[in-house]
Amino acid sequence: MALDENFGPVTGRVTVQDAVYEKLREALLLGRFDPGQVLTIAALSQSFSTSHMPVREALRRLAAENALEVSRNGSARVPPVSVGRLDDLCRARVAIEGMATELAALHATPEELDALDEVVEAHELGARKGLVVEMLDFNRAFHYRVYSASRSEVLIQLIDTLWLRYGPYMRMLSAYVEPRMATEDFRSYTVHHRRIIAAMRQRDAGRAREEMVADIRDTQDLLRSLITA
């Protein structure tokens, strides 16, 4: 089965196995694959210009993280979407990412807050240009910069796992947003982000958390409507 994603050969000081794993993980995290899409070892090996062994091991590691479902023949499938899975993920995201945002509001430096402003501006620029992949990349960058400011290694690791499992829903979101970017107000994509920064500048941890939760819930509501449509 041919893949739309062209990974290219893996090189450098990291092992081939680690490189394949990291590239696949990043693609899943950013929603590069369709929900339910089958990823065969043969197709992935061809895309990476490598043997089957590092691909097989990468798929095994990703299945252990619940990012993929591996069949008996070794092929893997991106988990399908459902309202139940979405709600379960968002329930965890609200709890953990809300806590991380509260901590970030208390610990973020002025330099980190200025960097968040720059990410929001880049996010809006990507939306204005109709670059949905770039826009979603900056969306993730914003969230991760906020959580990094929490100074909590444990929370960041948990969040990374949740976002990895959220990948199929990011794919749905990008497919929905892309054809509408030319007619919608691009600033609507970052309204909560700007409010989060404002709350963080005032060290208002409670309000920062509320805005982060609202950001997650708004996307959840949209995705629920897409799944049930």
Is a pLDDT exceeding 60 seen at residue 2?
no
Scanning the structure block, which residue is given the tokens 């402003």? 117
For residue 75, the model assigns a pLDDT of 80
Q: What's the rounded mean pLDDT across residues 148-158?
A: 98
Cα gap 60→39, rounded to integer Å: 12
Is a pLDDT exceeding 70 seen at residue 186?
no
Cα gap 119→131, rounded to integer Å: 15
Tokens of 87: 């709600």
Indicate if 109 and 215 belong to the same structural domain.
yes
Is a pLDDT exceeding 70 seen at residue 11?
no
CATH value at residue 59: 1.10.10.10
Burial category of 192 from C-beta neighbours within 10 Å (exposed 0-12, middle 13-18, buried 19 and up): buried
Scanning the structure block, which residue is given the tokens 């982000």? 193
Indicate if 98 and 30 belong to the same structural domain.
no
For residue 128, the model assigns a pLDDT of 85
Reported pTM: 0.88
For residue 13, the model assigns a pLDDT of 46
Indicate if 100 and 145 belong to the same structural domain.
yes
For residue 3, the model assigns a pLDDT of 66
Domain boundary among 77, 98, 121: 77
Cα gap 194→63, rounded to integer Å: 36
Task: Residue 144: give the domain boundaries.
Answer: 83-228
Short-list 67, 55, 66, 69, CA closest to 25: 67
What digits encode the pLDDT tens for the residues 46-78? Answer: 999 999 999 999 999 999 999 999 888 778 999
Domain boundary among 77, 100, 128: 77
Indicate if 129 and 224 belong to the same structural domain.
yes
Indicate if 48 and 89 belong to the same structural domain.
no
Q: What's the rounded mean pLDDT across residues 123-151?
A: 92
Indicate if 66 and 87 belong to the same structural domain.
no
What digits encode the pLDDT tens for the residues 86-119? Answer: 999 999 999 999 999 999 999 999 999 999 999 9
Q: What's the rounded mean pLDDT across residues 214-219?
A: 97
Tokens of 38: 């089958």
Indicate if 112 and 72 belong to the same structural domain.
no
Indicate if 208 and 179 belong to the same structural domain.
yes
Cα gap 81→172, rounded to integer Å: 9
Indicate if 205 and 190 belong to the same structural domain.
yes
Is a pLDDT exceeding 80 seen at residue 185?
no
